[in-house]
Structure 1
Amino acid sequence: MRTYVLIFSVVALSYLSYGQNTMTETHNDSLQSLIDQSSDLSYEYKIKESLDYAIKAVNYAHELNNNYYKGQAYYLMAYNYEVLVDFKNAETCYRKSLHFGEISKDTLLILRSNNGLGNVYSDGYKDLKTSLIFYDKAKELGKNLEDSYEYMTPVINLAWTYIDIEQFEEALPFIEEAHQLVVEHRELQGYCEVFYLKGKYAMYKGNFVEAGDFFEEAIDIAEKHDMILELSYLYEGRAELNEKRGNINEAYQDIKKYQEFTNKLYDKEKLKQIEIARVSFSVDEYKRELEIANKEKDYQASIAKNNKTITFISIAGLIFVLGTAFFFYMGYRSKKKLNNVLREKNTQLEVAKTEAEKLTTVKSQFISTVSHELRTPLYGVVGITSLLLEEKDMPEKHKKLLNSLKFSGDYLLDLINKVLKIGKIESNKEKLTKTPTDLAQLSQNLLHSFEYQAKNKNNKLVLDIQKEVPKIVSVDSLKLSEVLINLIGNSTKFTENGTIWLRIKIVSIDKDQIKIRYEVEDNGLGIPKDKQEFVFEKFSQLGREVNKSEGTGLGLSIVKNLLEMMDSQIHLDSKEGRGTRFYFDLDVEIVDEKQAEKLDLNGEDTAQTFKKILVAEDNKINQIVTKNLLDIIGYSCTIVENGFNALQMVKKEDFDLILMDLNMPYLDGMEATKRIREFNTQTPIIALTASELSEVKSECLEAGMNDIINKPLNKDDLKDIIAKNLM
């Protein structure tokens, strides 16, 4: 089910009838004003301000014991929480709205609250069966309303939900009823939704021509009115139709259109909401800090004022001996009052500290969620681009454009990964994992990955390894690779028409232990003397007016932190205009070459016979990319759209390996794996996820999975992990 279709948009509540004979007209006007302001602000995506007005309305309605306005205010709070993807609070407020709607007998509010709860269970909890219960309640209430426009929303939601759980025949009557309603109200968005659902139903019945007509008519309406949201899911639906009809070129064109409008939607809606939420959180935190500072300032001023009073009383006491006892008594009362104030201030500071810590947690969760959401569309971009680059007869000019597109996609993924990497390092979630590693091969592969950037800047890459360096050593190759990638990438960014060297030398050797020095040197711009002590700080960059290049300023900070984990330090030599040299030393263990020969370090022992692979993946673009990658590698595959279907397929047929996406509707990858392991413990299962591997790996292994791989997939990594688990 698609969130952007099922979220119930707020209709300006100022059009609702007033009511409560026990309230004065003034009170009604004040409450209605708060409700109207909250509604208007939520429509403008000013979520923080909208919530403030809704909370004020709730408090005021409770003071006046007005159940009608309690329900309206709680509804607005629930809607704002739904926009912020805080489904737990959204559910709580929707249920309160429903409660007060029933007390005040407000049928329209009861309908909307049930519809909102349906959205929470559908979009938030992925519990489609429960969402059907709430949508059905809303539909039944809508039958008794004079305004069939309100009735139309739950009818469309019911039709869409039955389509999503593939109960097409149950969906049909709701589709037909929704069609009548959108025609009656001439609702353009409703037209697009109904024709989309009709297309899905016709496709299920095998009426591909009829399905194509429905999609074509809906797309025509959406394009005439620049309906970006509708165009995204309509092109996705038609891509699925073209794939079923075997029209691969048309399916590819529709997928490109889908990606185009999805990106616009991210720009227009998602990213806008993210920025609004970010700014709101920052402003809120600033206000809290300012309030605490002002309270501390007032408190200090109060103490100073009272100290002057006490001093004056003491001096007066010396002059007026008879009043000494009285003045001491007054001083005692003043001190007692100040102690009470101090205790109150300390309590307020503790509350403010708790709120600040809570806000930090929310912001971290928010960044993690957004990073995960950004990875999903980037998988389509990087995956489809990689597939196109595999074609042999492609014109050179197209290949250059695709290389540029892939570079941009990889750059965005690198940015997301760096942000997550900083978070992991700071939270001490990074652990060292040493494995036997061929240093020469690893270094050559790393330099090879920079050939495209080097060619664009007319740079030469040189690998210089001292011949006495052992072939195989025990080291955390992933973290070493991250360090070298960041250092070589930094040199590439600041060097044009020059040379970049990667050197490996022996510093000292003692039996099985050896100290190796890595150097990354370039003859590029160099780093000014006054900037060198800051380059390893987070978000630190040379001024853009100097280097005219882009970046986050995270790479060298990650290098510093990773090397500290590996008991090493990064060093810098640089002169402005003459180039830069970074170097660090690592203590590693030499691996016996006879033992190393037994290890499949190069992944060459992967002789391939015909294998049958099951792919469980709900995203249509990911399905196409994964299928094509497997075709290129040389494997046959069967694709299913959710964990339930995967479970049924494994019961019916034998597969050599299963690729299981973690996040799927109806039955997710974790639960599907647990059920498969109840009767099949032999078939290898590899998890597919866009999440950080360390966050989900242990849970995947506990569920019965054999391995895990990050999306976006690339051909080589996919080939290696399949070969590893089929051995």
Structure 2
Amino acid sequence: MKRIILFIFFIVGIVFLGNSQENSGFSKNDSLQSLLDISNNLTYKYKIKESLEYAIKAVNYAYQLDNDHYKAEAYYLMAYNYNTLVDYKNAEQYFRKSLEYAEKSSDSLLVLWNYNGLGNVFSEGYKDLESSLDFYHRATNLGKKLHNPMEYMTPVINLAWVYIDIEEYDKAYPYLVEAERLVTESNDIQGFCEVRYLKGRYAFGKKDFDQAEAYFKESIELSKKHDMLLELSYLYKASAELHEKLGDLPAAYQDMKLYNEYKDKLYDKERLKQIEVASISFNVDEYKREIELANREKDYQISIAKNNRIINLISIIALIFLLGAAFFFFIGYRSKKRLNNVLKDKNLQLSEAKSEAEKLTQAKSQFISTVSHELRTPLYGVVGITSLLLEDKDILEKHKKLLDSLKFSGDYLLNLINNVLQISKIESKKVRLAKTPTNLFKLSQNLLNSFEYQAKSKDNVLILDVDNKLPTSLNVDSLKLSEILINLIGNASKFTENGKIWLRIKILALEKNTIKIRYEIEDNGVGIPEDKKDFVFEKFSQVDRESNKLEGTGLGLSIVKNLLTMMGSKIYLESNEGRGTKFYFDLELEILKEEHKLAGAKRNNGATTVYRRILVAEDNKINQIVTKNLLNLIGYDCIIVENGFNAIQMIKKEDFDLVLMDLNMPYLNGNEATKRIREFDKTTPIIALTAAELGEVEEECIAIGMNDVINKPLNKGDLRDIISRNLL
């Protein structure tokens, strides 16, 4: 929460920066100030791309005027925007530039806020608390000299917050006392709530639970009175932790509900929509800029070619007119040299623009990845608890229908998140093929069976047609192929009612070590109009969405097209409106010997018959409940710990058959815990639990000694399979 508080103080600081211009001893420029004001206003609307553009324009203008103060302000806005995008490397770079020019222009207020910004980068971004504390102390010392309680209060609160976070309560106490004095003098309601919250955490850390509860209640009542959503969200979370410590689980559960309620209000759909639109617009704008620069380069190339023809013509004339040859040659040489210099400058500008585009693309990908991870974590609780409730045989039918609808909505939202993340990874070229021995018949059969419930609900018949000569073991990326088939079968099911859906595997060519096959997915549904066929593979494209009730994001076929391109293939479409649609693609694959371990085999649907003890390392309370109940359903006993340090201690004291290790935990994360466990225990299987994309973490997890990785949210079948596989 410290970072969000800094964010709020940063915005307040912009206003103070504008006011400080009257006393900083420099000439005010209305045009430049207008650029800075526009950039600042755009940050409130989460239009980060546009805000960066105006900030960059302001930097360039400030350099033309050679005005150090305006350079400092413009670089500060750039740093602030990169901090919002969690691009801490660029945020640090521009905070330091802003600090350099703020010191040159003797603007103490700008210096203070840059110290705060750097403290935030090192605390929240680099987790370097020593450097973070150094910057906050600098801001505190400077704040005393400004004689402004509002400015001095910010770093004081941050220092108290950091020391409480690292549980150095004695060092935090003097800053708590000073912060309470400052908020009282300035009559700052928000600051008062934050100080009461920190004093509650201080009392909690000192085991004074009654005092902690009193501070939390006082701050909650005041925050409710003034509708402070941010403060209410982290206050209820802290209160939930306190009640859990006291053993009052009903009160802790109620606090967690209120925490999620206020967190949802704080991050409403419209705000997320604006951030998503801003991040998606990055690619389009940068692509247009690259095209424009490419056209300029082309124009210069044409200009050079034209001048070269003139030079050649002059050379021919020079053979006839010897006296004029030297003169015309000199003119041509000068012209060519000048144009070459211009071309070099343009090429340099193009290179710089390309570099900036790559930085923005990287920031966008990191932002989408972070948001996707944060959305997956609460979804695990929603989907997991719903699945557990559906396992209850005594549930009323009317409640079962509501739970089915809730689970469908959760699965749909999870699929949407995965599709957006997959598109982002493909565009940033982070997707890699991982071929494994695969039984295509069993893989296709399992995928088709997974659509059985959906098919029955729409009175559709699923038909699998596979050539009998298809080899048992083929070398292919089974995960990518599964994703392609799931999108195509799902698309066919969406547009078909009371019909048939065929999944066919045909052999086009068969040799000793290679085979060429064709996958066909055909339905007799509504079909695709002729004028829509050229657009169905574009992102967010949907056929006649306004006139039907079919859901979807329009990303599935775009993902299919990109994945097949990676696999060296191409998707083809045949369709007649009202008669159905057929998609097909060809793959040339290596034939493997049958002793290879095959992907695509059916899972063991029975429960375990052997008593096993499993250690679960998971910090999220809801995830603990879901994981424990899933393990109980499939026949395993488990013990739960909240962080990596406790997991190490538990394994040293007791024997476990397997460990489920969450990667992101406080105090000691899953990766570090695994490294330490492997120092004294080389045999106990460790399976990583993660809400991130498997491709982003799998290689590192295996390298440090983990045996396998499974993605959240968990389901009973996948969890049973991966445990069985690692206990064999």
| TM-score interval, normalised by the smaller of the two chains | 0.7 to 0.9
1:383 aligns with 2:381: yes
Deviations 1:407-449 (A, max 9, x none): 2332233234334445666748432433354845x55543443
Which position in structure 2 is the counterpart of 1:692? 693
Question: 1:495 corresponds to which residue?
Answer: 496
1:184-333 mapped onto 2 (5 Å cutoff):
184-205=185-206, 210-248=211-249, 250-264=251-265, 265=267, 267=269, 269=271, 271-279=273-281, 282-283=284-285, 285-287=287-289, 289-290=291-292, 293=295, 325=323, 329=327, 332-333=330-331
Cα contact 2:144–2:152 (8 A) shared by 1: yes
> d(CA) in 2 for partners of 1:80 and 1:466?
54
The equivalent of 2:637 in structure 1 is 635
Greater Cα shift, 654-663 or 464-473: 464-473
- What's the secondary structure of 1:525's corresponding residue? coil
Matched-pair identity in %: 50
Report what 2:459 is aligned to.
Answer: 459
Aligned to 2:148: 147
Instruction: Confirm or deny: 8 A CA contact 2:376 2:691 kept in the other structure.
Output: no
The change in CA–CA distance for 1:254 and 1:413 in structure 2 (over 3 A counts) is same
1:551 matched to which residue of 2? 552
Q: Secondary structure at the match of 1:143?
A: helix
Distance in 2 between the 1:450 and 1:91 partners?
A: 49
Partner residue, 1:114: 115
Aligned match of 1:575: 576
Q: What stretches of structure 1 of length at least 5 have no aligned partner?
A: none
- 1:594-631 per-position Cα deviation (integer Å, ceiling 9, x unaligned): 999xx9953759444241404044x5554454444445
Tell me which amino acid in the other structure corresponds to 1:340. R
**Partner Cα separation in structure 2 for residue 361 and residue 492 of structure 1:** 40
* SS of structure 2 residue aligned to 1:178: helix
1:3 matched residue in structure 2? 3
CA distance in 1, matches of 2:273, 2:656: 41
Cα displacement string for residues 580-600 of structure 1 (whole angstroms, at most 9, x for unaligned residues) = 34456777859769999xx99
Amino acid across the alignment from 2:696: E
Preserved contact between residue 56 and residue 74 of structure 2 (Cα < 8 Å)? yes
Q: How far has the Cα of 1:119 moved from its partner? A: 0.3
The SS at the match of 1:613 is: strand
Residue of structure 2 equivalent to 1:525 = 526
Q: How big is the alpha-carbon RMSD for the aligned residues of Structure 1 and Structure 2?
A: 4.5
Deviation at 1:146, TM superposition (A): 1.6
**Is the CA contact (8 Å cut-off) linking 1:444 and 1:463 kept in structure 2?**
no
CA contact (8 A) 2:617 2:661 kept: yes
Contact 2:2/2:158 (8 A) holds in 1: no
Find the aligned partners of 1:286 and 1:624 in 2 and give their Cα distance: 49
Q: CA deviation at 1:341?
A: 1.7
1:81 match: secondary structure:
helix
- The amino acid of 1:403's aligned partner reads D
Please give the alpha-carbon distance, in whole angstroms, between the structure 2 residues aligned to 1:620 and 1:284: 43
8 Å CA contact retained: 1:439, 1:471 = no
CA-CA distance at 1:125 after TM superposition: 1.1
Partner of 2:343: 345
Partner of 1:166: 167
Shift, 1:351, TM fit: 3.0
CA distance in 2, matches of 1:528, 1:135: 63
Q: Whole-Å Cα distance in 2 between the matches of residues 569 and 47 of structure 1?
A: 36
Structure 1 range deviating more: 81-90 or 653-662: 653-662
Which residues in structure 2 correspond to 1:435-474 (within 5 Å)?
Answer: 435=437, 437=439, 439-440=441-442, 442-443=443-444, 445-454=446-455, 456=457, 458-464=458-464, 473-474=473-474
1:459 counterpart SS class? coil
Q: Note closer, same or farther for the CA distance 1:512–1:461 as it changes in structure 2 (3 Å cut).
A: farther
Aligned to 1:127: 128
| More off after superposition, 584-593 vs 487-496 | 584-593
For residues 20 and 159 of structure 1, do their structure 2 counterparts lie closer, same or farther at Cα, with a shift above 3 Å needed?
A: closer
In structure 2, C-alpha distance between the alignment counterparts of 1:512 and 1:288, rounded to whole Å: 45
SS in 2 for 1:659: strand
- Aligned mates of 1:116, 1:52 — CA distance in 2: 20
Rate the CA distance shift 1:114–1:570 in 2: closer, same or farther, 3 A: closer
SS, match of residue 677 in structure 1: helix
Classify 1:577/1:289 alpha carbon distance in 2 versus 1 (closer, same or farther; 3 Å).
closer
Does 2:179 align with 1:181? no
Task: For 1:564 and 1:613, locate their aligned partners in 2 and report how far apart those are by CA, in whole Å.
Answer: 42
User: Which amino acid is the alignment partner of residue 333 of structure 1?
Assistant: I
Matched, 1:609 2:611: yes
- 1:415 is matched with 416
Instruction: Tell me if the contact between 1:459 and 1:495 (Cα under 8 Å) persists in the aligned partners.
Output: no
Taking structure 1 as reference, are residues 268 and 709 closer, same or farther at Cα in structure 2, changes over 3 Å only? same
Q: Describe the superposition over 1:312-370 as per-residue Cα deviations: whole angstroms up to 9, x where unpaired.
A: 9999x99xx9x995697257415522442244124413531452354145315513531
Deviates more, 1:96-105 or 1:692-701: 96-105
- Which residue of 372, 375, 382 maps to 1:374? 372
Paired residues of 1:389 and 1:399 also in contact (CA < 8 A): no
User: What displacement does 1:153 show?
Assistant: 1.2
Structure 1 residues 529 and 38 mapped into 2: Cα distance closer, same or farther (>3 Å)? closer
Give the alignment partner of residue 433 of structure 2, picking from 431, 434, 442. Answer: 431
Change (3 A) 1:583 1:438: closer
User: Structure 2 CA distance, aligned partners of 1:34 and 1:531?
Assistant: 43
* Alpha-carbon spacing, 1:425–1:92, altered in 2? closer, same or farther (3 Å): closer
Query: Does the 8 A contact of 2:501 with 2:524 survive in 1?
Result: yes
- State how far apart, in whole Å, the 2-side matches of 1:566 and 1:49 are: 37
What SS does structure 2 have at the residue aligned with 1:500? strand
User: Are the equivalent residues in 1 in contact too, given 2:159–2:172 (CA < 8 A)?
Assistant: yes
TM-superposed CA distance for 1:121, in Å, is: 0.8
The counterpart of 2:18, out of the listed 6, 11, 14, is 14
Count of residues in Structure 1 that have an aligned counterpart in Structure 2: 714
Change (3 A) 1:187 1:475: same
Distance 1:183 1:467, change over 3 A: same
* Counterpart Cα distance in 2 of 1:274 and 1:17: 35
Could you say which residue in structure 1 is the equivalent of 2:721?
A: 720
Secondary structure of the residue that 1:678 maps to in structure 2? helix
Distance 1:589 1:339 in 2: 60
TM-score after normalising by structure 1: 0.82
Range moving further from structure 2, 674-683 or 46-55: 46-55
Over residues 445-478 of structure 1, what are the superposed CA-to-partner deviations in whole Å (9 max), with x where a residue is unaligned?
434433554455x333434567968896456443
Classify the secondary structure of the residue corresponding to 1:496.
coil
Write the letter of the residue equivalent to 2:147.
E
